[in-house]
Amino acid sequence: MDALPDYEIISRVLSGHTRLFSELVDRHQDRAMSLAMRLLRNREEAEEAVQDSFVRAFKALERFEKRSAFSTWLYRIVYNVCSTALSKRGELFEQTSLEKDDAAIEIPDFSEIPDSVVEGEELKQNVVDAMNELPPIYSGIATMFYLYDLSYEEIVKITGSPLGTVKARLFRARAMLRDGIIRRTGLRELAG
């Protein structure tokens, strides 16, 4: 069964073998969960969002077009469900005001930064902390880009935002991560 591609499973589900949908769930639940966790930052809510997303995907399976991967289509549903949850929570998901200043982002002077900052054990914790500090929209886009290795175009399909917006947000996310890592290391060195 593992050898069956997603498209084949979807065809069989649509032809009446509905129980095969669990195969798709098993394949994609971890990644769907990772995206929901990054966006919502709450395990219980993320589980609910993923469950809701798979139920929606099942009900809308007939509308799935094979122009993109099933995973991309599923992530779009997860993204929308999480976006709604964030809106209900009263958190602003769209943060376009931040993106207007992208041109002003400066390049830190890396000549003063020791190699230990860009490699080594300490970096792992710094990256985790900096990632956790990102606002949901940037954390989500960084997850899609780094963790799922998605292209700009695939992220456009998931978020429904124009390519320019996706590029701007991804750039902002990477710059904020980089600055967060460097700031943490600087602070730790000053403190220690």
Partner 1 sequence: MNHPTSAELFEFMDRRLGEKRAGEIAAHVASCDQCRRRVALERSTRNIVRSEFLVKAPAGLSSSIMVNLGTPSRDSLALRILSKGGAVVAMLIVLSVIGFVIAQVSNAPDNSEATTSPVTKFISPLSDLFTTGTQSFIDRSSAISQTIESKAAPEFWKTLCFVILAIGILAAADRVFGKRFIKLRS
Which 89-148 positions form the footprint of partner 1 (CB under 8 A)? Answer: 102, 105, 107, 109-111, 113, 115, 117-119, 123-124, 127-128, 131, 142-143, 146-147
Report the amino acid identity of residue 36: A
| Rounded distance between C-alpha atoms, residue 75 and residue 63, angstroms | 15
104-109: long-range contacts, CB 8 A cutoff, minimum separation 24:
105/171, 105/172, 105/175, 108/178, 108/179, 108/182
| Rounded distance between C-alpha atoms, residue 12 and residue 21, angstroms | 9
Residue 63 binds to partner 1 (criterion: CB under 8 A): no
Compose the 138-157 pattern: x for residues touching partner 1 by CB under 8 A, - for all others. Answer: ----xx--xx----x-----
Q: What is the DSSP string of 72-102?
A: HHHHHHHHHHHHHHHHHHT-----HHHHTTG
Applying CB under 8 A, the span of 20-28, 62-70, 76-84, 92-100 interacting with partner 1 comes to 20-28
- For partner 1, the closer CB: 65 or 112: 112
| Rounded distance between C-alpha atoms, residue 79 and residue 72, angstroms | 10
Residue 62 binds to partner 1 (criterion: CB under 8 A): no
Give the interface with partner 1 as residue ranges (CB under 8 A). Answer: 18-19, 21-22, 25-26, 29-34, 37-38, 46-47, 50-51, 54-55, 58, 102, 105, 107, 109-111, 113, 115, 117-119, 123-124, 127-128, 131, 142-143, 146-147, 152, 170-171, 174-175, 177-178, 181
